[in-house]
Structure 1
Amino acid sequence: MKTILKSAALLMFFFAAALSVNAQTIVRKKPVAPQTTAVRPPAPSPKHTWVSDEWKHDPKGYVWKGGHWETPPKDKAFYVKGHWRHVPKGYVWMPGHWK
């Protein structure tokens, strides 16, 4: 019984991973970030970390979103900025995340 449950969990994991890969939008040319002069507001608390401006995936493509303050999910966590990853047919945005 345990083997069947482990196999089912593993199959669900790979299925979810395949769906998330297919949900990404590939662009031939990396979009240029808009030139903004937004002022960073003061931190709500000493525990907050600034999360930089970055691209967000939208049903129509990629949209530029401004930065914001976030509380790290755990002590000593740090934010890894998003970046464009080269793939065979162009580029895919890899969103920022906590590590």
Structure 2
Amino acid sequence: MTLSKRLADLTLALGMGLVLLPLIGAIALAILVADGRPVFFGHTRVKTPGKTFTLWKFRTMRQLRRRQDHGVSGGHKRRRITRTGRFLRRTRLDELP
């Protein structure tokens, strides 16, 4: 990768980050007010064989209580989606951060 390409990528990423910062803040505040903490959810994904990374997303579902089963059915998962989460998923803003 050339230096000019790298500088262009960094400039674009920084610019888009600054433009999206108010939207990210508004979404985080909406989740905090409507559903409480935590605002973000970390999901582990596989990058290459043997290497993983954490993908951070806005939380769109109610948290499981400790005594609830983690092997829940699809219907139960749909009931756990919050009103704010439903909007974020429909508009695909849940994966913004």
Assess same fold via TM > 0.5.
no
Where is the helix percentage greater, Structure 1 or Structure 2? 2
- Which structure dedicates a bigger proportion of its chain to strand? 1
User: What's the TM-score, normalizing by structure 2?
Assistant: 0.32
Taking structure 1 as the reference length, the TM-score comes to 0.31
Which has more radius of gyration? 1
